């Protein structure tokens, strides 16, 4: 009886140890901490580069410039598609629309919606 109790306790302890390791999930990973040496000035921006106002401003300018470039490229494409659509419509019969004209109109609509949403921010 004592051996059975000891075996049961051993199994319970073993199961708790195994389940603790399994339920713990992935091992925790810690971000490397910057090293500061004696005599070196400690800057708050050393700990978190995203708190540097100058760097944040530069990143915002880069994002704004890239966004503007994409908007200009998309509006240029929109203008070209609309011009092409007008030429195709002018060539077709007033009672018949080709599949190409309808596809181009759909493409223009999607691109215009995309540009509008990006302009909103």
Residues 6+ apart with CB under 8 A from 104: 81, 84, 85, 88
10-residue mean pLDDT profile of the chain (121 residues): values are: 56 52 52 60 56 88 93 94 92 83 93 91 73
Confidence (pLDDT) at 38: 62
Confidence (pLDDT) at 18: 44
Report d(CA 80, CA 111) in Å as an integer.
12
CB 78 within 8 Å of CB 108? yes
Confidence (pLDDT) at 97: 79
Confidence (pLDDT) at 44: 53
The structure tokens listed for 73 are 């490229």
Nearest Cα to Cα of residue 72 among 84, 83, 62, 64: 64
Confidence (pLDDT) at 81: 94
How many Cβ atoms sit within 10 Å of the Cβ of residue 34? Answer: 11
């Amino acid at each position: 009886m004592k051996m059975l109790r000891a075996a049961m306790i051993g199994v319970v302890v073993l199961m708790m140890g195994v389940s603790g390791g399994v339920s713990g999930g992935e091992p925790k990973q810690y971000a490397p901490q910057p090293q500061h040496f004696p005599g070196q000035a400690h800057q708050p921006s050393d700990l978190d580069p995203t708190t540097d106002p100058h760097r944040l401003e530069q990143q915002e300018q880069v994002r704004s410039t890239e966004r503007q470039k994409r908007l200009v490229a998309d509006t240029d494409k929109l203008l070209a598609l609309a011009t092409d659509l007008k030429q195709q419509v002018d060539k077709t019969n007033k009672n018949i629309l080709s599949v190409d004209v309808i596809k181009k109109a759909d493409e223009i609509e999607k691109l215009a919606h995309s540009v509008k949403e990006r302009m909103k921010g």
